[in-house]
Amino acid sequence: MERQLEKHLEETCRVPGISGALCADNNGLCLAARGCKPELAGHVASIAQQAAQLHPNSSTTPVICIESEGGSVLIKSENDVTMAMFKTPL
């Protein structure tokens, strides 16, 4: 059932600069992960919810970008799915 999702994640991870991708549901369950530990699903879902709570009346959910020298993570949730993209500098 999740083959199509995994196929999309695999294609995404082939893009230069993307080291990993993860898909989580609202409860922090890992739906799919590539290039990163599935255990991160809990933290990813949690941070997406915490960020949305900053402005609960907003019509859109925010994008969270966590940056460091060695790479960054982009997190966004839409409907009931939260995506995290792990990027490394080229």
Where do contacts with other proteins occur on this chain (CB under 8 A)?
Answer: 19, 40, 43-44, 46-47, 50-51, 53-55, 58, 60, 62-73, 84, 86, 88
φ/ψ (deg, to 5) at 15: -65, 130
> Measured from the CB atom, is 8 or 43 closer to other proteins?
43
C-alpha dihedral over 10, 50, 72, 7, to 10 degrees? 0
Beta carbon of residue 24, minimum distance to other proteins (angstroms, whole number): 12
C-alpha dihedral over 73, 61, 31, 66, to 10 degrees? 10
Beta carbon of residue 44, minimum distance to other proteins (angstroms, whole number): 7
Beta carbon of residue 87, minimum distance to other proteins (angstroms, whole number): 9
